[in-house]
Amino acid sequence: MVTSVYPTEVPSLLNGDHPKTMVEGLAIKKNGITLNPTDETTFLFHRSFEYPLKLMERSDGHTITMGDGHQILDACGGAAVACIGQGNEEVIAAAVAQMREITYAHPLSYTTAAAEGLARCFLGENPWGLQKMFIVGSGSEANDVAMKLARHFFVEKGEPERVNFVARAQSFHGNTIGALSLGSHVARRRPYLPIILGNRVSHVSPAYAYQYMASGETEAGFVARLASELEDEFLRLGPHTVVAFVAETVVGATSGCVTAPAGYFIAVKAVCDKYGILLILDEIMCGAGRTGTTFAFEQEGVVPDIVTLGKGLGGGYAPIAAIIAHKRVCDGFRGGPSKAFNHGQTYQAHPLSCAIATSVQTIIQRDNLVDRCAHLGKLLGAMLKEKFADCEYVGEVRGRGLFWALEFVQSRQTKKPFMASVGFASKVHKESFQRGVSLYPGSGSVDGKVGDHLMFAPAYTSSEEEILHIVQTARDAYDQVVSELRLPTKPGALFQQYDDGSSSNLRPLKRYITTHDENGKGVFCEEKFESIIPIVPPNNIERAGLHVHYHTQGFPVDLSENKDLKRYFESTQNIPLANEGGSVCRVVDLGPGQSSPMHRTISLDYGVVLAGEVDLVLEDWDGPTKHLNVGDVVIQRGTIHGWRNPSKDHWSRMLYVLLPSEKLKINDTELDVELDGLVLPK
């Protein structure tokens, strides 16, 4: 008889029985753990050393209870994971039962009923020819394994020269080196660029119609262009060297629930088939019922050679993901020389994870939750479109099933995204969280550098009342953020904000770009300027500033923290750093200059008239004159002359910023320069 070696009461951090040295300096708030552990109070290697995580105490259904008692409605399932809610007793019972039978089975020696049952649950009598499931512990692993499976398939077929993969820009396939190589998430790839598989993975344009379809281009034309681009890339690489084209069926966190235009996957599958190249679809986030069908590809008219599943597979009850291979891939191994896939993992097809996932999928199938997801998804989509219809900074509402997103932009007309430093989506998420609803914000939506989106991925078991509450809370949070940022609420209009909080509309902003005609004479080009720049009262001008952002390799640079850059702007340009983020700006009175009591000359690149009026002439002096009023903007590479209006008893004032060029190189640092807008006084 074996006697347990474990004491009845185990010393635990949760019980507060830890050694004194471990809690020295620890601000114990509850059960020995701080409510919001910081770098100084946690032994965990958290993702960020700067921003502490909030302590989650318990979860039940769709509600999360924080350590301070604050309750949150989970409207995003973490990251589209908790598809049946949390704390389901049936799943817990299945986990306990499995632990009593088998806790571990070495995958090279044994299989288990739990693993076999999960594969049968998905693939038994499926109509698509999907035949085998390989089970791992995470989505990143799954996409790594999919790459190896596809490569080994061609080795078995006697085509070892196939070594290249083609994926899409604005994609994310995981954080392991292989999966990171497939994706193009700028921020996550940046530290590892020297070691990822850059010479074996190339990227084509995303099927992201809102931002990438050309003006006047039809949906069919967009699809044809993307398919042609894919074929051109295959030909550039040499089709006989390409293993697979990899894509998310519905793009997840990188750009926010982007569905492909109609016919896209049919078109790219045809290109793949033409050259014998495999199609791998990543459904880690969008699969397992999330889009209203078991597989997202069911709504695209194609069947992939390999598909990966993850988050919704185990519903968050266990770490699990899977790679599913079509019969034609399996036949390649059956007929190959080794008749084996040269890959294995210690925790492959772990019986506990498999039993839990089988229980989750049994509940989904028995309770018709995929159909319910489709039904609730229609409600969620309709309510989002209704509630945000009049929101100037919501460019697109998109999604499918219970997988929806809002894309935030500076203007619906231009689709121009906010600069990353604004953090619009993050601000809406934080405000929503304070109101008791958790959403999933994303940044870099457009090109990996700029763009904001907010994702909604509630559980399939959500009620209609919860869906309505989620949408209303998101709208309330959005309104609060717009108010706090002091943005105009109507398109094309400016607001003048006063200290007492009142506001008055100004006319639509005009922009004048100076250029030269064919004879070299200066001319003004007037165009409508869709802008979010508010204008401050004259007495607050000195407290305002044009906010300019400097980026290097897509990442923001804070001039106030970079000594070389700060020295450059304060000495070379003789302009002090001002406001948050290290903006470079100056307010100038267009008062009497040294050469004439009637005008003053300044050199600038960008200016906003803040008070009074100003007449501007071009550098050649005999060019046209343009009369500007408060709120008008001038973009000019050269010299602008401000003239005193004789009928006025005051001089105009302009806030302007010097932008040396679109790219600025100081020492060894090359910066991208972009104007964001006006920084207002608090």
Instruction: Note the pLDDT of residue 488.
Output: 57
| 164-220: pLDDT as tens digits | 999 999 999 999 999 999 999 888 888 888 889 888 999 999 999 999 999 999 999
Q: Token match 């908790």: residue?
A: 82
For 413, residues 6+ apart whose C-beta sits below 8 A from its C-beta are 491, 492, 530
For 202, residues 6+ apart whose C-beta sits below 8 A from its C-beta are 164, 165, 166, 167, 233, 237
CA pair distance 494, 506, nearest whole angstrom:
5
Of 569, 584, 590, 581, the residue nearest 657 (C-alpha): 584
Helix, coil or strand: residue 225: helix
Instruction: Note the pLDDT of residue 517.
Output: 59
Instruction: Note the pLDDT of residue 580.
Output: 32
Instruction: Note the pLDDT of residue 231.
Output: 98
According to DSSP, the residues that pair with 672 across neighbouring strands are 551, 663
Q: Which residues of the chain have pLDDT under 50?
A: 1-28, 491-514, 524, 526-551, 553-556, 559, 568-608, 610-612, 618-621, 631, 635-666, 672-682
Instruction: Note the pLDDT of residue 176.
Output: 94
Helix, coil or strand: residue 361: helix
Query: Read out DSSP for 277-342?
Result: -EEEEEETTTTTTTTSSSSGGGGTT---SEEEE-HHHHTTSS--EEEEEEHHHHHHHHTSSS-S--
CA pair distance 597, 26, nearest whole angstrom:
68
CA pair distance 429, 473, nearest whole angstrom:
10
End-to-end CA distance of the chain: 73
pTM for this structure?
Answer: 0.74
Q: How many CB atoms within 10 Å of residue 335?
A: 10
Instruction: Note the pLDDT of residue 573.
Output: 40
CA pair distance 279, 47, nearest whole angstrom:
33
Q: How far does Cα 240 stand from its chain's mean position?
A: 34
For 307, list phi and psi in degrees, rounded to 5. Answer: -135, 140
Token couple for 363: 């509940």
Please report the domains of the chain, with CATH numbers, ordered by start residue. Answer: 1-53 (no CATH), 89-366 (3.40.640.10), 369-484 (3.90.1150.10), 504-679 (no CATH)
Instruction: Note the pLDDT of residue 624.
Output: 55
For residue 515, how many C-alpha atoms fall within 13 Å in the half-sphere facing its CB? 8
| Pairing label, strands 321-326, 403-408 | unpaired
Angle at the Cα of 194 (from 189 to 198), degrees rounded to 5? 75
Instruction: Note the pLDDT of residue 30.
Output: 54
